[in-house]
């Protein structure tokens, strides 16, 4: 029997989020759009301006923000610290599984994106997962 308590999730505290942002160097942005007006583009552009190596993951694009775009995480072939996901919550579990498979240390679901299944998958694998938070806003907050 499932109790309501078992359906809850929580993000790490601010200190852990700051640590993740400080220790991370490479961020794969899944669902990164080539359209400048899209939130994913603005976040990725900001992260690049802050010194992060941003890797676009979008099978519909060859290049975004002057960087090669990959069809999926396993195609990248380099160590990824954070996988930042700009997809609907129900689309995230297979991406989370792929992120774990490639050894990402943190999975980040952007503001408005929540998936209890993704949370369970990441937590069971011992991988930090942050949901319903904007990476750009959290980076700015950590720098205050």
CATH number of 95's domain: 3.40.50.720
pLDDT at 4 over 60: no
C-alpha distances (whole Å) from 141 to each of 41, 90, 107, 134 are 20, 28, 19, 11
45 occurs within a structural domain: yes
* Full-model pTM: 0.93
- Number of folded domains that form the chain: 1
123 occurs within a structural domain: yes
Q: Which domain holds residue 22?
A: 11-142
pLDDT digits (tens, 9 = 90+) for 97-117: 999 999 999 999 999 999 999
2 occurs within a structural domain: no
Which residues have CB under 8 Å from 138's CB, separation 6+? 17, 21, 130
User: What percentage of the chain reaches a pLDDT higher than 90?
Assistant: 92
Rounded distance, CA 102 to CA 135, Å? 21
């Amino acid at each position: 029997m499932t109790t309501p308590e078992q359906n809850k999730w929580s993000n790490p505290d601010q200190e852990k989020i700051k640590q993740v942002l400080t220790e991370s160097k490479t961020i794969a942005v899944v669902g990164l759009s080539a359209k400048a007006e899209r939130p994913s583009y603005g976040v990725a552009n900001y992260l690049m301006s802050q010194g992060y190596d941003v890797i676009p993951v979008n099978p519909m694009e060859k290049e975004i923000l002057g960087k090669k775009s990959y069809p999926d995480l396993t195609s990248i072939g380099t160590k990824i610290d954070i996988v930042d996901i700009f997809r609907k919550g129900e689309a995230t579990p297979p991406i989370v599984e792929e992120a774990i498979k490639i050894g990402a240390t943190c999975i980040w679901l952007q503001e408005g994106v929540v998936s209890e299944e993704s949370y369970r998958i990441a937590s069971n694998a011992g991988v930090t997962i942050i949901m319903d938070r904007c990476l750009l806003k959290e980076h700015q907050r950590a720098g205050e």
